[in-house]
Structure formats: structure tokens, C-alpha cells
Amino acid sequence: MSRRADQTRYHVDGDLVPREAATVSVDDRGFRYGDAAFETMRAYGGEVFEWDRHAARIERTCEALGMPDAVPEDLPVRVAETLDANDLRDAAVEVSVTRGVQPGSLTPREAVDPTVVVRVRALPRGGLDGEAVWDGPAVVQSVRTRRVPDAALPADARTHNCLNGILARLELRRARTDSHRPDEALLRDVHGNVAEGATSNVFFVEAGTLRTPEPGDLRPGVTREVVLDLADGESFPVETGRYDLDDVRDADEAFLTGSTWEIRPVESVDGIAVGGGPVTALLRRLYDERVEARCY
């Protein structure tokens, strides 16, 4: 698509603007320091799925960053306006709330004039009649890059500091061969426990029990919470704990979760076949039903 033909509009600081005019100052702390909250959501049929959980998390992130009043009250309106302006009902929605332009030093000023950006891009329909956004099951590769500990950056905060995941994904380049094309990096914490994917949480099934690393140094995603809800509703045995790579490699089933990917089966971990299975399939079905019931 040529730039001229691009009709995409973003919401920047209260205004809908063409994508090519959607900019921030180089003095904005969101650019300069990654000093901003970030939230990725998914809209189905014009409705943001799990809005309340996402809205609560972006509030928590802003609180963790010492700017508790930064989220604009009309954020839901801005999101709706951005979807409408782009004539989108099924889309990825990304919200940034930065600490705004401030002069000088790393130390933030108390008074905050946040910069708020809403971006959208088209996704296929979801729900029972939907299609997955991924081409196939995930090929997962464990990497050397370790998850940033919660003691250094609060694990629950979603921000513009994303280099940890980027460095993990860059390692996949080196692991790639003609027969092995990993597309998600699996990070361990500094102690060697499995933490999460670069942009996903990980679940696996062993002896009929659904397992996922316990919160701590991982980022407990909204989709992870939904999956735990769904498993609870089915009275599945669920265990959260500390696991090593072999636990995931040897699992009967494994899948990744994220707002955009939803529930994505894992084909292999470090070249070892894992695959989906009946638990993964049932949870995907239940997830699609919830999307259908809530949004379409």
C-alpha cells in the first residue's frame, strides 16, 4: 500500500490524525526514556474484549510509574472514535499513555501532562466463526536473555521499555535453519525458571493438569487470567508453580496466550515436538464462545 493510499487514522493527544501526521515530540519522555504505559487489546465486532481488565492494568501501570492520574477519563471514547474513524470492528487496539514532554533530566516532575496515543490495525473476525491471526502452531525456542526481574521493573506493568523481549526475539535469528523456524522466544527468570514468551504467557498440560508459571517475574497477561477463569469454570485441575525447560518440553500439550494471539498451540519447544491436544482445543473453544457471547 502506498503512503498516499494509507487512510489509517490514529488518536494523538485528543485528536484523530492521519497516520503520517501522528507524531510525538523528541522531548516526550515516552520517546526519550520509554517512560509510558502501554496496553494492547483486541476489539471484536467493535467491542474491546475484557476492557475492564485492560483498563485496570493500564491504571496499575500508571500508578507504578508514579503518574496515577495520567489515564484520561474519556479513554474508552477515544478508543471507540479511533475504531470508527478507521471503519474497523475487528482490530488490535494499542494505547500509550506517556509522561509527556518535560525538560531536562531523568527525574520526573510531579506535574504530568500525559501524551495519549491510540493506534488500531485490522484483524480477522474472532469468535466461533473467526480465524486465527497466526499461520500455525508456535515454534518455540528458549533463549539466553533472562526476564527482567520484578525487583528491577514491576512485572505487572506494561510499558514502552520492551528491549528485553526484543533481544529475546533477536536471538531467534541465530537459531533459525531451513527446518527450524522459531517464532516465539521462551524466557527464563534469572534463577532459570520458565517465565514467559516475549509477548505471551505459557501454559502446558501434564498428566491431565493445566500448568503455568506462577506470578513473580512474569507478566500476568489478561488472556492468561481469562484462561484460568475458563479452566476454573470447567473444574480442570490447575497448578501454578516453578518449572524448568524440561517440564515444558516433556509436556503432553502446550500453548501460548496473548490478547492478539488468543490461545495458540505450541508445535515444539527447542525442536522437541509438544503439540496441542484436547485441553488446548477445549479452552480455545471456550475462549471463542466467550468472545462470541460478549462482543458479537
SS3 279: helix
Q: CB nearer to a copy of itself: give 79 or 210.
A: 79
Can you tell me the distance from the alpha carbon of 79 to that of 72, in angstroms, rounded to the nearest whole number? 11
Question: Is 242 an interacting residue with respect to a copy of itself (CB under 8 A)?
Answer: no
Q: Which stretch binds a copy of itself (CB under 8 A): 23-31, 81-89, 249-257, 278-286?
A: 23-31
Among positions 108, 216, 271, 275, the unique one binding a copy of itself when judged by CB under 8 A: 108
Identify which of 148, 239, 248, 141 has the alpha carbon closest to the alpha carbon of residue 189: 148
Q: Could you say which residues in the range 112-151 bind a copy of itself, by CB under 8 A?
A: 117, 119, 121, 144-149, 151
Q: How far is the CB of 119 from a copy of itself (least distance, A)?
A: 7
> What single letter denotes the amino acid at residue 270?
D
Identify which of 176, 165, 295, 163 has the alpha carbon closest to the alpha carbon of residue 218: 165
Can you tell me the distance from the alpha carbon of 91 to that of 49, in angstroms, rounded to the nearest whole number? 11
Size of the site for a copy of itself (CB under 8 A): 58
Query: Which grid cell sits at 128?
Result: 466461533
Q: Which stretch binds a copy of itself (CB under 8 A): 30-38, 52-60, 204-212, 221-229?
A: 30-38
Q: Could you say which residues in the range 145-204 bind a copy of itself, by CB under 8 A?
A: 145-149, 151-154, 159-167, 169-170, 172-173, 183, 190, 198-199
Identify which of 79, 101, 92, 93 has the alpha carbon closest to the alpha carbon of residue 35: 101
Can you tell me the distance from the alpha carbon of 267 to that of 138, in angstroms, rounded to the nearest whole number? 5
What is the binding site for a copy of itself (CB under 8 A)?
10, 12, 19-20, 22-28, 30-35, 38, 64-66, 96, 104-108, 110, 117, 119, 121, 144-149, 151-154, 159-167, 169-170, 172-173, 183, 190, 198-199
